[in-house]
Chain A
Amino acid sequence: MSAGIAGQFRSRAAEADAARFGLWIFLATEVLFFGPLFMGYVYGRMHLGDAFAAASRHTDVTIGTLNTAVLLTSSFTMAMAAEARRAGARAARGLLAATALLGCAFLALKGFEYHAEWREHLVPGASFAFDAAHARGAEIFYYLYFAMTGVHAVHLTVGIAIVIGFAVRFDRANAGHVEIAGLYWHFVDAIWIFLYPMLYLVGRAG
């Protein structure tokens, strides 16, 4: 990236606008990328409702809730970082680091959770074990669970890499860059806010 503005833009503001707008469109594509998984979930809830509820009760709601808190906090620090960068405050760097750290904490907790599920034979496939009445539907639930949280974790990993990159090369990251990274980070957070009730809470209601 050259220090100046790209030749096709009339001003730095126009360039920043285009970048922000481009990222919003990208986030729209990302929402639709998750779409088939949500559709699969809708299908499961409609046709295999009992099994989905039973399977949902086997998820680790403690870690899930903790993770939701961690990710929401990381979104807060990310928003603060963008705000601080706009104001030119040096605190932005620390806030970026905190965001990345919280993201890593989320992934670590998720790893523990996956490990426990692996031990309990909740990973779909040949060794999947669940009480016979709901085995088929539960397997589909866990298939969707791993697909959704897995794709989400991949997105989060990319986000962490970007945020670490900006924290390390702080002089190269202008306010626009940090803001765009923030948009992406909040999107990852927003996806999780949908996943959390769908996967952890639904079976526990009522």
Chain B
Amino acid sequence: MTYLGEGYTLRSWLSTHDHKRIALLFAISITAFFFIGGAAAAFMRLELATPAGDLVSDDTYNRLFTAHGVIMVWLFLIPSIPNVLGNFLVPMMIGARDLAFPRLNLASWYVYMAGGILVLGALISGGVDTGWTFYTPFSTMFSDSHVVLTLAGVFVLGVSSIMSGLNFIVTVHTLRAPGMTWFRLPLFVWAIYATSIILVLATPVLGMTLTLVAIERVLGVGIFDPALGGDPLLFQHLFWFYSHPAVYIMLLPAMGVASEIIPCFARKRIFSYRFMAYAIIAIAALGFLVWGHHMFVSGQSAYASIVFSLLSFLVAIPSAVKVFNWTATLYKGRITLSAPMLYAWGFVGLFTIGGITGLYLASLALDVHLTDTYFVIAHFHYIMVGGSVMAYLGGIHFWWPKATGRLYPEMWARVSAVLVFVGFNLTFFPQYLLGYQGMPRRYHAYPAEFTLLNVFSSCGAAVLAIGYLLPLVYLTWSLLRGAAAGDNPWRATGLEWQTPSPPPKHNFEDTPVVEAGPYEYEGART
């Protein structure tokens, strides 16, 4: 009796406490939001295919990029890997029967949906034009759009984030199987654990900050508007105190996924496991100390900028530790270029490019030129899309046989991975050049000399869209017609592979006893 066979009614799904079913609920809703956010991006790239602002008005364009940002950040990227893969895998990887608080887990999905509906309501009724950052005083005084409704939606989504994060932390602390010590945890669990710490510590700050923005907008009293004696920089500090760590909420789980996939398809133990775990924690900790690098030209003191610049450079160290260790894991491995491995390689390469351009932006003098240009757009899309989305898709492919018990067509999956990689680079690499030449972000029209690169970028977006839509087709096909996968099609280590596919309701017939570390692969070629 698998977890899918426990009940076939809608009610059995909507009232389930099973972490695996909740993961699937999240997967379905997150996928829907992803394509809504992607549609907004498609309209933007269409508009930018020509220099003139001829498809949508400037005001509509503002609402488009805000919709894209709000949906992709809070409704897709932040919950994607933690709530889909994390929910499904964390209990299985540590040998537990479920998360510590199953009902809280289900509540987290309902709260997420409530937040999503609020945000969608704001979009349907006309949208928001503040950008996803809600900068004051524009958002409190001047914007003529549904700011408060969107803020309410984001606040509610934050509550869902906190619920999930709390659940993961308690689960990892209390429900590890006998013998599963901290340094036998798979790196994916380490990543989700560190991410959860960020979730519970950073999200409340955003919640209160957005509440204050809403109060200021509705009642006309507050601490952010200079006209009221307040300080808009205070808002930026509070906002980025959450939103910079939020980038690591998106990225750390992606690193965890890559750390599971790469050893499996290189048939080698992960290189320097302990440092990989330390690097995750280090990135999570440093993530809290660098928010000021979003504010180099905002008017904060030069000394603050210098310190934030230096601290931002420090993030490169643990990030580089991870990249070099993935590379070293591949060295002399017996490599299979399967679809998940292609995604993982794409992740490592794109994350490296995104990270190094992050250093450009962390340099004070360079940032004065590059800030608010397409260079920034390219940089964070390399991190969030080239990093997080690639890893998310890789993880979906890697654990698909485990979740469904069926295989997908390998050839099509590889085609899709390559299309995503090529389309992504074609979309966003030209944006580095555009930004370097000085094309500002958030404009719906541009001078004619930027046309060629923008056309490249728009063509790339079309390729990227095909790459994203393909998995919908063949994974649906796989659900209906896919060959039976067996318990462990990749011959991977890890507790989640030592139970049937799909797993039974409580994951394991008998609680497993762990006697060895993770990634016990047979080793390198001699």
Residues of A within 8 A of B (CB): 6-9, 14, 17-18, 21-22, 25-26, 28-30, 32-37, 39-40, 43-44, 47-48, 124-126, 128, 136-137, 139-140, 143-144, 147
Contact = CB atoms under 8 A, between A and B. Distances in A.
A101 to B, nearest CB: 30
B259 to A, nearest CB: 25
Contacts of A18: 100-101, 170, 173-175
Contact of B166 (A6, A25, A139): A25
B208 A34 contact: yes
B97 to A, nearest CB: 4
Q: Considering residues B91, B200, B229, B234, which has the most beta carbons from chain A within 10 angstroms of its beta carbon?
A: B229
Interface in B90-141: 91, 96-102
Contacts of B167: 22
A22 B100 contact: yes
A137 B215 CA distance: 18
A25 B208 contact: no
A39 B204 contact: no
A8 B100 contact: yes
A26 B204 CA distance: 10
Contacts of A33: 204-205, 207-208
B229 A136 contact: yes
Contacts of A17: 174
B334 interface: no
Contact of B229 (A29, A37, A139): A139
B184 interface: no
Contacts of A22: 100-101, 166-167, 170
Contacts of A39: 234, 237-238
| 7 pairs of A and B residues whose beta carbons are closest in the complex | A33-B204, A136-B229, A124-B221, A32-B204, A8-B98, A36-B208, A8-B97
Q: Give chain B's interface secondary structure class.
A: helix
Nearest to B91: A8
B208 A37 contact: yes
Contact of B219 (A29, A125, A137): A125
B326 to A, nearest CB: 31
B220 A125 contact: yes
A36 B200 contact: no
Nearest to B178: A10
B223 interface: yes
Nearest to B511: A10
A22 B525 CA distance: 46
B100 A25 contact: no
A140 B506 CA distance: 54
B310 interface: no
Given A7-B97, A8-B102, A48-B229, A29 B223 contact: no
Contacts of B234: 39-40, 43
Q: Considering residues A21, A30, A48, which has the most beta carbons from chain B within 10 angstroms of its beta carbon?
A: A21
Interface of B: 91, 96-102, 162, 166-167, 169-170, 173-175, 200-205, 207-209, 212, 215, 219-223, 228-231, 234, 237-238, 506
Contact of A29 (B96, B162, B174): B162
Contacts of A29: 162, 166, 200-201, 203-204
Given A8-B99, A22-B166, A28 B200 contact: yes
A22 B171 CA distance: 9
Contacts of B174: 9, 14, 17-18, 21
A151 to B, nearest CB: 8
7 contacts: A6-B102, A8-B506, A22-B100, A29-B204, A47-B231, A140-B228, A147-B212
A195 B219 CA distance: 23
A143 B221 contact: yes
B204 A140 contact: no
B166 A26 contact: yes
Contacts of B215: 147
Contacts of A140: 223, 228-230
Contacts of B223: 40, 43-44, 140, 143-144
B204 A30 contact: yes
B209 A36 contact: yes
Contacts of A32: 201-202, 204-205
Given A18-B174, A21-B170, 16 more contacts: A6-B102, A8-B97, A8-B100, A9-B174, A22-B166, A29-B162, A32-B202, A32-B204, A35-B204, A36-B208, A39-B237, A40-B223, A43-B223, A139-B228, A140-B223, A147-B215
B198 to A, nearest CB: 11
Nearest to A46: B231
Contacts of B221: 124-125, 128, 139, 143
A28 B238 CA distance: 17
B98 A7 contact: yes
B323 to A, nearest CB: 31
Contacts of A147: 212, 215
B212 A25 contact: no
Contacts of A125: 219-221
Contacts of B166: 22, 25-26, 29
Q: Considering residues A21, A33, A126, which has the most beta carbons from chain B within 10 angstroms of its beta carbon?
A: A33
A26 B220 CA distance: 31
Contacts of B222: 143
Contacts of A143: 221-223
A40 B215 CA distance: 14
B212 A40 contact: yes
Nearest to B200: A29
